[in-house]
Amino acid sequence: MRLDVVTIFPDYLAPLDLSLIGKARRDGILDVHVHDLRTFTDDRHRTVDDSPLGGGAGMVMKPEPWARALEHVVDAGASQGAPVPHLIVPGPGGVPLTQALAHELAQEPWLAFACGRYEGIDERVYEHAGERMPVTIVSLGDYVLNGGEVAVLAIVEAVGRLLPGVVGNAESLVEESHEDGLLEYPVYTRPAVWADGDVVREVPPVLLSGNHGAIAAWRHEQRLERTAARRPDLLPTSATTGALADLDVR
Ligand SMILES: N#Cc1c(N)n[nH]c1-c1ccc2c(Cl)cn(Cc3cccnc3)c2c1
């Protein structure tokens, strides 16, 4: 998968050189190109913003640098097995990033990301890009960031980890929160008995039993309990009247 990111803060994307995503790049699974929007300005001050027409606070990102940047991205990546990328634009008014959307995006050969700043990008950029490539505005959630870079890091991680070969053990992707509608079960490791000062904390005995059926059942019940307690909105209504109804869920 090729990823192109356009931003006025290229260094914000440095974390894409680290950990599993960084290894995926070195392994050739991900081909990431970060572009500085200011490269595509045409004035000595490398201007990317201006005051909002119609008045209002803050600044708006000018359309011309974005049009030039996106044209460069399309020209640079034309050999990707797709003539154009799917352009993802983080925005507070976008569709929510969900695990289902991450799976959809993981099927694409080429994604491009437009990281806006200030009060946003001139709306005509979305129209101009939409005439040339699929465009989706995506939001991380109902809170406000200062720009799109943090969202792109999250989207790239959520999508990249789904690509074959990125996460060492693909089984670890299965019973994760949001993968199948339930939150994940609690995990433990050695020591089985942790003497924390004068407090002794033990691992649930079932995990030491060697009874894999009992362990699986316990873990599933933990997932149901946690989901009911923290994210009841994720549960189908039938589940809340069935097995969960008897659970003492605080
Ligand atoms: N994704 C996402 C996301 C999220 N979940 N919250 N905020 C954002 C986000 C993404 C992109 C931009 C751009 Cl471009 C400018 N801003 C600042 C801003 C703040 C309030 C209203 N208008 C613009 C962005 C905020």
Task: Name the 3-class secondary structure at 166.
Answer: coil
CATH classification of the domain holding 113 = 3.40.1280.10
If you measure from the C-alpha of residue 51 to the centroid of ligand 1, how many angstroms do you get, rounded to a whole number?
17
CA distance 53 to 122: 10
**What's residue 243's pLDDT?**
53
What domain range includes position 222? 180-247
The residues lining ligand 1, judged by C-beta closer than 6 Å to any ligand atom, are: 90-92, 94, 116-117, 119-121, 139-141, 143-148, 151
Whether residues 146 and 190 share a domain: the answer is no
If you measure from the C-alpha of residue 216 to the centroid of ligand 1, how many angstroms do you get, rounded to a whole number?
41
**This prediction's pTM:** 0.91
Question: In sequence order, what E strands does 23-166 have?
Answer: 31-36, 49-50, 60-61, 86-96, 110-114, 135-139
**What's residue 176's pLDDT?**
75
Q: What is the pLDDT along the chain (250 residues), one digit of tens a residue?
A: 999 999 999 999 999 999 999 999 999 999 999 999 999 999 999 999 999 999 999 999 999 999 999 999 999 987 767 889 999 999 999 999 999 999 999 999 999 999 999 999 999 999 999 999 999 999 999 999 999 999 999 999 999 999 999 997 777 777 677 888 899 999 999 999 999 999 999 999 999 999 999 999 999 999 999 999 999 999 987 555 555 555 544 3
Of 230, 244, 141, residue with least CA distance to 184: 230
Q: Is residue 193 part of a domain?
A: yes
Whether residues 13 and 85 share a domain: the answer is yes
Whether residues 220 and 141 share a domain: the answer is no
Q: Supply the residue whose CA is at minimum distance from atom 4 of ligand 1.
A: 92
Question: In sequence order, what E strands does the chain have?
Answer: 2-7, 31-36, 49-50, 60-61, 86-96, 110-114, 135-139, 193-196, 199-202
Whether residues 66 and 127 share a domain: the answer is yes
Whether residues 227 and 150 share a domain: the answer is no
Residue type, 75: D
Residue 90 pairs with which residues in a beta bridge? 138
If you measure from the C-alpha of residue 78 to the centroid of ligand 1, how many angstroms do you get, rounded to a whole number?
29
**What's residue 249's pLDDT?**
42
Last residue of a domain, one of 107, 125, 160: 160
Q: Supply the residue whose CA is at minimum distance from atom 6 of ligand 1.
A: 144
**What's residue 130's pLDDT?**
98
**What's residue 244's pLDDT?**
54
Last residue of a domain, one of 160, 193, 212: 160
Atom of ligand 1 nearest to the CA of 119: 23
Whether residues 196 and 149 share a domain: the answer is no
CA distance 214 to 212: 5
Angle at which helices 63-76 and 123-130 cross, to 10°? 30
What values do phi and psi take at 193, rounded to 5? Answer: -125, 115
Number of domains present in the structure of the chain: 2
